[in-house]
Amino acid sequence: MKNSTQESRINSKLFVVLFIILALILAYISFRWRSDRLEETEERATQTQEAEPTEASLLDFPVKPTPTARPPTPYPRRVDVMGNMVIGGEPEDIPAILDAEPLLVDAETGSEEWSPDTQVIGLYFSGSATAYPVSFLSRHEVINDRVGPQSVVVTWCPLCASAVVYERRINQRLLTFRASGYLLHSNLVLEDLETRTLWAQLTGTSIRGMAGRHALHPLPFQLTTWAAWQAQFPNTRVISGKLSPYANIFDYSVDPYGSYFGASGAAGIGRGTETDERLPARAIVIGLDFDQQALAIPYNDLYNAGLAEMRVGEQDVVVFMDTETATPTAYEPIVAGRKLTFNVQNGTIIDNETGSGWNAATGEAVSGELSGAKLKPLAFRSGFWFSWADFFPDTSIWSEDA
């Protein structure tokens, strides 16, 4: 009996020793695993800081898949107040195009899909041209692309009818954008996938997030028809809805916001009822913003005048209207250090200094002493007056009589 008791005690002690050894082994394994993970994290962070991101690597960012059977709608599925922002939906409802390259086709192929009067946002940089149909953008609102050497994000907010194009780099870091699901003054709020910072579409300024206080750099573009764009740039490429990963969900030939554009008095969602009454809430304006000064040009007034000249901040600007295609373009009115002024004669834009004739759509002199010279294009915004006035309450309004 005594031997049995001693044997039991020995077994108990042996069990305790084995348990302690096993616990120590597990603790060591856990410690080594955590150390390895920490080293890997620090190494990745160092590599991220030292290496400049590439287009391809950024597209590997782990983003939740975005295909959805729910078409976008001007009326939100839910509206939650978040300070001055509201939630108009989920990012998955409006899936951004993170890389447009696989969706691009040549002009001949594109003409089989898009009608001549299809409205497009056109970009031209260093000999490369690309067009983005607005009816396609109404489904996605954000397209990340590269045109020539320029990395761009093409944005369209249907609620504000606002078109803006931005450079995708901030402090040499390449960003990839999507719709965040938020609205600010009814305007699209962008989110970059690298820092999760929120950006106002109309102004390009950061709202909140890890990127800090920055502003995206706006780029010049044309809002015109497919026929007019193709005539200017026969070698242009264009987005194809047929190649979209959402082609089985969306009908790109129909703009889902057609009823909204046709509705009388509808002026966005998730914003106050007060609207600057200097212009009708849904009057289309061309917006200029330089040196913290803003100016709005009523689209109809510009069409009737043919051109508008002004100084915004320290920037001299001339805005031409191609009345044949109803296409506005903005330029710096300086050639070889010489400031030019303009007038319209029999539908042709003429500069007062040399009598040269100018192409409104391209900003190129087509006749006279300056034939072949080109004006520098300037960035502008276009959209409904209510949205421009919400973001720029102190804006001036251009008048031909001023």
pLDDT at residue 129 greater than cutoff 60 = yes
Q: Say if 229 falls within a structural domain.
A: yes
Say yes or no: 301 and 238 in one domain: no
Residue 242 inside a domain? The answer is yes
- Say which residue, 120 or 42, is predicted with more confidence: 120
Q: Nearest CA to 342 among 383, 311, 314, 309?
A: 309
Question: pLDDT tens for residues 251-268?
Answer: 998 887 776 666 556 666
Quote the CA–CA distance of 240 and 120 in Å, as a whole number: 12
334 and 364 within one domain: yes
Predicted confidence at residue 309, as pLDDT, reads 97
Q: Any bridge partners for residue 189, and if so which? A: 200
Closest Cα to residue 360, out of 303, 321, 308, 304? 321
Q: Given a cut of 90, is residue 401 above it in pLDDT? A: no
Residue with tokens 């490369």: 128
pLDDT of 364-379, one tens digit each? 999 999 999 999 999 9
Is the domain of 86 the same as that of 165?
yes
User: Would you say residue 390 lies in a domain?
Assistant: yes
Domain-located, residue 114 = yes
Whether residue 278 is contained in a domain is answered as no
- Please state the domain count of the chain: 2
**Do 98 and 236 reside in the same domain of the chain?**
yes
CA 394 from chain centre, in angstroms, equals 24
- What pLDDT, on a 0 to 100 scale, did the predictor assign at position 259? 65
Predicted confidence (pLDDT) per residue in 75-106, tens digit: 443 344 444 656 556 667 789 999 999 999 99
pLDDT of amino acid 43: 42
- Structure-block tokens of residue 24: 């120590």
129 with 60, same domain?
Answer: yes
Mention every residue, 6+ apart, whose C-beta is less than 8 A from residue 70: 77, 93
Q: Give Cα separations from 254 to 82, 257, 268, 389 (angstroms).
A: 32, 9, 20, 29
Which CA distances in Å does 191 have to 188, 194, 198, 211? 10, 9, 5, 11
246 in helix, strand or coil?
Answer: coil
Is residue 209 packed enough to be buried (19+ CB in 10 Å), middle (13-18) or exposed (0-12)? middle
| Together in a domain, 210 and 352 | no
**What pLDDT is attached to residue 9?**
59
The answer to whether residue 222 scores a pLDDT higher than 90 is yes
Q: Are residues 311 and 353 in the same domain?
A: yes
Write the CATH number for 335: 2.102.10.10
Q: What pLDDT digit, counting tens, does each position of 50-84 carry?
A: 333 333 222 222 232 333 333 444 444 334 444 46
Q: What is the C-alpha to C-alpha distance for residues 310 and 74, in angstroms, rounded to an integer?
A: 35
Lowest mean pLDDT: which of 91-95, 108-112, 232-236? 91-95
- Residue 124 sits in the same domain as residue 160: yes
Q: Give how far Cα 278 sits from Cα of 50, 275, 282, Å.
A: 51, 9, 12
pLDDT of residue 50: 35
Q: Is residue 49 within 8 Å of 185, Cβ to Cβ?
A: no
Q: What is the mean pLDDT of residues 211-219?
A: 86
Asked whether residue 151 is domain-assigned, the answer is yes
Considering the domain architecture, whether residues 245 and 290 belong to the same structural domain is answered as no
Q: Report yes or no on 310 lying in a domain.
A: yes
What pLDDT is stored for residue 341 in this prediction? Answer: 97
- Residue 28, domain member (yes or no): no
Instruction: Locate 66 and state its tokens.
Output: 């975005």
User: Do 306 and 225 sit in the same domain of this protein?
Assistant: no
220 Cβ contact partners less than 8 Å away, ≥ 6 residues apart: 165, 329, 330, 377, 378, 379, 380
| pLDDT tens digits, 169-190 | 988 899 999 999 888 888 999 9
* 311 and 250 part of one domain: no
Claim to verify: residue 367 and residue 307 sit in the same structural domain: yes
Condensed to tens digits (0 to 9), the pLDDT of residues 296-319 reads 999 999 999 999 999 999 999 999
pTM: 0.78
Between CA 328 and CA 201 the distance in angstroms is: 20
User: Structure tokens of 276?
Assistant: 């600057």
Q: What is the mean pLDDT of residues 133-156?
A: 96
Helix, strand or coil for residue 125?
strand
In whole angstroms, how large is the CA radius of gyration of the chain? Answer: 28
Q: Which domain holds residue 161?
A: 56-262
